[in-house]
Structure 1
Amino acid sequence: MPSAQVRSVTFVPADDSGVARIVIDRPDDPVNAMDLRVVEDFAAAIVAARAAAPRGLIVASGKDGRFVAGADLSLLSGGSRIEIERAIRAFQQVLNDLAALPFTTVAAINGAAIGGGLELALACDRRIIADAPSARVGLTETRLGLVPGAGGTQRLPRLIGLVRALDVILNARTLAPRRALRAGIVDEVVHPAVLLKAAADHALRDRKQKPRGGATAVERATTWLPPVRAFALRQARSRVLAETKGRYPAPLAAIDAIATGLAKGMAAGLDAEARALGELAVGGTGKNLVALALLTLHQRKAVLQGLGRARPIAAVGVVGLGFMGSGIAQAAAAGGLRVRARDRDAAAVAKGLSTIRQLTAEAAKKGVFERREAARIVGRITGGPDLAGFSGADLVIEAVFEELATKQRVVEELEQVLRPDAVIASNTSALPIAEIARRARAPERVVGMHFFSPVHRMPLIEVVRSARADPDAIATAVAAAHALGKTAIVVGDGAGFYTTRVLSVMIGEAFAMLAEGADIEAIDRAMVEFGWPVGPLQEVDEVGLEVAAHAGETVAKARGITPPTIVNALVAEGFKGKAKGGGFYRYSGRRRTPNPRVRELVGVDSRPVVEDIAERLTLALVNEAARCLDERVLRSPAEGDLGAVLGFGFPPFLGGPFRYADALGDGVVASLERLAAAHGDRFAPANALRSRRPFFRV
């Protein structure tokens, strides 16, 4: 006979003390993501617990270091609004049943309790969390274009107060254990070894009580008094609209659900929550953001397809301790790796190590690391002015000046001291890896690892595979990216690879519009209004004009076109960027004004623009991304979308250049042909677009 299906949630009868347990251990998922089977099994476990009537109940995970990481996002893919709403109401009812149990319930949080995982914990009477690096709590649904759907918008304000709850939900915050304790989300932080014992003690000792709505009188007044509450909600709506420009509906929907629940009661709030989630999940923004999240999750395995076997990595070398190199060293140490760093002299090394300490201390203040872990991170990094200590490195990342001869010399020096199986990675944004490795004795072990600035914030690493690269070396670079907590994409070699190449094309088109008479502010304003974080000309200022000029010239040379002259002209006059005398803008404190010298150097008077600036610039980028797919610089549209959104800020609500092209349908080719007729063959649609085959299945 076939064996019975293993349950995802199990009720464990009370021990001698009278405390029972509900254990969540989804057999087919490492992070206990909540799917329909988990919800059904959880409902059955609650029924069993109610019937058993223990003195207290612990809700725990059966996985080491992992609690419940949230809902299984695949449930939202392809479902109708009614189906999604029905599923979320079922989860709400299960958590209502958990909250209504007549004995004290305690969530023993041993890892990440994110989204639905925290909502489950909020339905318990108490929450005890392990003092562990993997332990985090948060409601991150708005980052996915959704709202918390299983009571998060209702129970969190009642627990910690309206203002604190708005901050957590609208900013999609995740909190480390001690920050969660200070916020009032958890009741105690304990050593992982005694988590279950501490939870049992609370289950026996504590009594059920109604949430107070905040720790202080002011917090409680803001939560419960209608006039004060209305003021706080108005302020929250104003801030959201100012930040999102109305492009992201989820934060406003979350505010509405919170307001409904506090004014009309929990049942009305839960109803508003479920309806909002159903509507958002099938809307364009929600579908695109969920698709991006799923791509990010799937990419961890998908990126390794077609590669070799990754070599074990325990020790990393970093050459160059400027801002990028310091960020790379800190990220490697935060990933648990030993780091040996080198710069040109003792003073440069000391400055780099000081930057690392500062980055780590700031992260600890924000709750990214606990203070003890921050000290361990700094302790994993040593440095010196030579390559002493590099012989044991499994991977060395060079982050020296973006100049070919310098990088080639570093590779030659490294080959003198490294083991034959050690991988050498170049952090370059534009220089072809084959050229960097041209003078190497073993060019097959030289790869690209393009980090993005600032390293501690940017989640992407572009791993570059030259024609001669060893598949094992590429796999090792990908494994290193994962160890650093980054998402990796693998791209083909060539000037600018993928991200720098397509971004340079868009910025080059902005320079062309500038030469046609478009205003600096008009160009940047149009792109920001479209959804980009900053305009292309402001981006050049922030990156630095010398860096931007080098990247642009490298890409232009490879494409056989003349690079724009305006950037070098500004550099020649001392305008090198925001922190170096200004660039396309002049800067005075926080004030930014267009640099009048730009118009003089361009030699064309300003004139009104009669075409859609954002369409022209964004479609130039989309077309170049499609060319990268045609030329196999990109392996897939998925990696193209991840690279664009995570690497340089393509508007996330559009899903990425390829998903955006799908949304435009036949219109993308028609628009490009119109632009080609007006501005030249550079807008001729790429073959991948001309085929009119969708990049993603609907």
Structure 2
Amino acid sequence: MIYQGNAVRVERGPEGANEAIATLTFDRKDASINTLSSAVVAELGEAVAAIRAERSLEGLVIGSAKQAFIVGADITEFHGMFEQGAQQIQAMLERVHGIFNAIEDLPFPTVTAINGLALGGGCEIALTTDFRVMAESAKIGLPETQLGILPGWGGCVRLPRLIGADNAIEWIAGGTENRAEAALEMGVVDGVVPSEQLEAAALDILARARAGELDHQARRAEKQAPLLLDPIEQMMAFETAKGYVAGKAGPHYLAPLEAIRVIQKGAGESRARAQAIETTAFAKLALGEVAFNLVGLFMNDQQVKKKVSRYAKQARPVKQAAVLGAGIMGGGIAYQSASKGTPILMKDIQEEAIELGLKEARKLFTKQVERGKLSTEQMVERLTKLRPTLAYGDFGHVDMVIEAVVENPKVKAAVLAEVEDQVGEETILASNTSTISITRLASNLKRPENFCGMHFFNPVHRMPLVEVVRGEKTTDAAVATSVAYARAMGKTPVVVNDCPGFLVNRVLFPYFGGFSQLLAQGADFQRIDKVMEAFGWPMGPAYLLDVVGMDIAQHAGEVMAEGFPERMAGMAGDRGNNQGKSVIQVMVEHDRLGQKNAKGFYAYQEDRKGKPRKVTDEAAIALVEGLVKERRDFSDEEIVARMMVPLCLETVRCLEDDIVGSPAEADMALIYGIGFPPFRGGALRYIESMGVEVFVSQAERLAEELGPLYAPTEKLRQMAASGETFYTREAQDAGKAQG
């Protein structure tokens, strides 16, 4: 044994031919996967020093004892590192560069055996060696730009020299995970073999290098030499890429474009100078708000997944599912279940509806085939898992039923009571309702303990979130089974407690309320859309209402108004309340339902691909003008505040009311459910980035003019006064729970 640490060990090969070969193995004893924490990096430095001290060595293999190779740096350390400032960040990067350069400069050939995921720092370690061999099932990539940073341990320096600037830009700016065959074709790795042959392949490469058959010094020199590009090649490789990437990334995501600049600036430089350019750029991005929020988002996602995993341990297996209703939502749910391998019955009372649901499923499967995600044989096999029916004949063998009929409490209650008599006593029933109380729907059921909500978002195949809604009598087993089934469908489930609108719609409608009040004071809805899209939303509120459907929005708004009359009365046209008609109600009365009938705030025309394209509609503008009660000019900042404050406050209330269990779940639900701008981290992270005290002051000023929708809660005022934040409180609560 040359070196033994808690995460890194270095051993000589067995006596004989491989005795002069050292193997450096990553195997964290305190984790199920390998990550490069500061402690692991320190051990790596010690291990490399021990290798350099062994004079008789003639080769090195770097490998992993885990299923993955190395999934990257330990992201849980990032926030603490970022808070130390640019000087400390750069010092850390320089230490790592020193270690990685020492590997690259070893006086004998080196090879990395990539057995599983090699991402971020894992990929960058692999790039330090002379050769790389990869298992067929492994993936490799540099996804740092997805966290608002760039590869900072040599990825922006070594990868372009290995595969060319244009290919490196594609990998780094895109942040992709790449399969073994793509890595081989690109020249990132030197061989791809079955996993059981990986060690032998690595040793064979070293033997050939030691014998002079492979020139490791030439490979090393090429990897360290500057990129020699003439001016035209420079323009083609960098300037064209900048324009394309800037258009794809948008103005808020700076890391992909900065990564291209780093590659460009370092292309003609020595290794040391190029690494210094990379280090400076990394520190600059790391200190930005976007990187902080995206790292927080990653950790929130991990926290949500851990909670889902805990529920899954209590779940009953769902071997056969069923959905009631073959409409847009029911058909989407049936497709999603079948596409992920869980057989599902799709029941409706009309043959036409069944055919429509099947047509939608076939269309979605066909698109998968066209994109190369499925073979025709796989499509046929998965289609067989979706079985249409007009009767309850096979429902006695169903483990899970999702009701997805019309959003009407009487209809839903009747259908649920009917299906309950057709299924087994342990079958879980769930309603895909977006607003109706689960406790209310459960009141007529014989087994309310087996009933919960499963709120999918439209379109089901694209939207990642499912709200699993716990009613008053819902058991943990029912929740756990629903969570596990949602995860099996490829979704991210978040468990919430019952209330009008649950979490996402309850939070969304105050946002629409802020929109309605702006219109009443003369703001132009097209300008509001542009301002909020510039803020980061995928679509502005008027456009979003058109997509949701004005009739659906009115119904949901009435549910909100009934549940929270002090704040939400009048937002969707409460009839007969003498507050005047809302813009949503006026749109419904004029049969402007949005995209579903090609007219709402905008008119809709089909583009060349058959998708609805919005165009300005003077009739809609005239309708909105008729609702104006006063005329005011608003700055972009005022529009953002008027829209965001109600949404953020309602998120706070949901947390305080225990509708959602944690800030992480609240923020992830908004990002996955309504497209809250990811780079802003979620509503609660947005409040923190502004400063709780600043946010409360802004809300109080608006509440004086606009009423309770803008009034901060007493707990939020106390947080502002004490300097507390949502995520510091969450960390403290987690610490107490562990203690």
| Mapping of residues 118-197 of structure 1, within 5 Å | 118-132=123-137, 135-197=138-200
| 1:518 Cα deviation from its structure 2 partner | 1.4
| 1:348 Cα deviation from its structure 2 partner | 4.9
| 1:221 Cα deviation from its structure 2 partner | 13
Partner of 2:735: none
CA-to-aligned-CA distance 1:587-607 (integer Å, 9 cap, x gap)? 345663332222333314695
Moved more, 561-570 or 264-273: 561-570
| Mapping of residues 565-584 of structure 1, within 5 Å | 565-578=582-595, 580-584=597-601
- C-alpha contact 2:133 2:192 (8 A) present in aligned 1: yes
| Mapping of residues 285-304 of structure 1, within 5 Å | 285-302=290-307
| 1:458 Cα deviation from its structure 2 partner | 3.2
Q: Secondary structure in 2 aligned to 1:384?
A: strand
Q: 1:447 to 1:17 in 2, by over 3 A?
A: farther
- C-alpha contact 2:471 2:497 (8 A) present in aligned 1: yes
* Cα distance in 1, alignment partners of residues 176 and 493 from structure 2: 23
* Cα distance in 2, alignment partners of residues 397 and 299 from structure 1: 23
Partner of 1:628: 654
Q: 1:676 to 1:238 in 2, by over 3 A?
A: same
In the alignment, structure 1 residue 619 sits paired with structure 2 residue 645: yes
Partner of 1:475: 480
* Cα distance in 2, alignment partners of residues 672 and 124 from structure 1: 56
CA root-mean-square deviation: 3.5
* Cα distance in 2, alignment partners of residues 377 and 169 from structure 1: 36
Q: Secondary structure in 1 aligned to 2:455?
A: strand
Q: Which runs of 5+ in 1 are unaligned?
A: 215-219
Runs of 4 or more consecutive aligned structure 1 residues displaced over 6 Å after TM superposition:
52-55, 211-214, 220-223, 304-308
**Of 639, 659, 665, which residue of structure 1 is paired with 2:692?**
665
**Of 430, 437, 445, which residue of structure 1 is paired with 2:442?**
437
Identity of aligned residues (%): 35
Partner of 1:527: 532
Partner of 1:462: 467
Partner of 2:256: 251
**Of 598, 601, 624, which residue of structure 1 is paired with 2:623?**
601
| Mapping of residues 229-244 of structure 1, within 5 Å | 229-243=234-248
CA-to-aligned-CA distance 1:367-406 (integer Å, 9 cap, x gap)? 7x57599559726723121445544443333334333334
* Cα distance in 1, alignment partners of residues 644 and 175 from structure 2: 28
* Cα distance in 1, alignment partners of residues 115 and 323 from structure 2: 34
Partner of 2:578: none
**Of 383, 387, 392, which residue of structure 1 is paired with 2:387?**
383
Partner of 1:27: 29
What is the total number of aligned residue pairs between the two structures? Answer: 686
In the alignment, structure 1 residue 425 sits paired with structure 2 residue 436: no
Q: 1:193 to 1:541 in 2, by over 3 A?
A: farther
What TM-score does the superposition give when structure 2 sets the normalisation length? 0.83
In the alignment, structure 1 residue 610 sits paired with structure 2 residue 634: yes
Partner of 1:210: 219
CA-to-aligned-CA distance 1:635-694 (integer Å, 9 cap, x gap)? 222222222222212222322211222233322222112212222232222233222242
* Cα distance in 2, alignment partners of residues 347 and 422 from structure 1: 28
* Cα distance in 2, alignment partners of residues 615 and 119 from structure 1: 42
| 1:106 Cα deviation from its structure 2 partner | 3.8
- C-alpha contact 1:288 1:655 (8 A) present in aligned 2: yes
CA-to-aligned-CA distance 1:56-92 (integer Å, 9 cap, x gap)? 544332123x222111112212221333333333333
* Cα distance in 1, alignment partners of residues 712 and 318 from structure 2: 43
Higher alpha-carbon Rg? 2
CA-to-aligned-CA distance 1:381-433 (integer Å, 9 cap, x gap)? 23121445544443333334333334334433442343322322222222222
| Mapping of residues 166-565 of structure 1, within 5 Å | 166-205=169-208, 207=214, 208=216, 209-210=218-219, 224-243=229-248, 246-302=251-307, 309-332=314-337, 337-344=342-349, 348-349=353-354, 352-353=357-358, 355-356=360-361, 358-359=363-364, 362-363=367-368, 378=382, 381-385=385-389, 386-560=391-565, 561-562=569-570, 563-564=572-573, 565=582
The aligned amino acid for 2:105 is A
- C-alpha contact 1:336 1:377 (8 A) present in aligned 2: no
Q: 1:667 to 1:185 in 2, by over 3 A?
A: same
* Cα distance in 2, alignment partners of residues 274 and 584 from structure 1: 48
- C-alpha contact 2:308 2:484 (8 A) present in aligned 1: no
**Of 670, 679, 685, which residue of structure 2 is paired with 1:653?**
679
The aligned amino acid for 2:277 is A
- C-alpha contact 2:311 2:484 (8 A) present in aligned 1: no
- C-alpha contact 1:112 1:137 (8 A) present in aligned 2: yes
* Cα distance in 2, alignment partners of residues 364 and 61 from structure 1: 35
- C-alpha contact 1:104 1:204 (8 A) present in aligned 2: no
* Cα distance in 2, alignment partners of residues 607 and 522 from structure 1: 15
CA-to-aligned-CA distance 1:281-313 (integer Å, 9 cap, x gap)? 233221121112112112223467899933344
| 1:493 Cα deviation from its structure 2 partner | 0.7
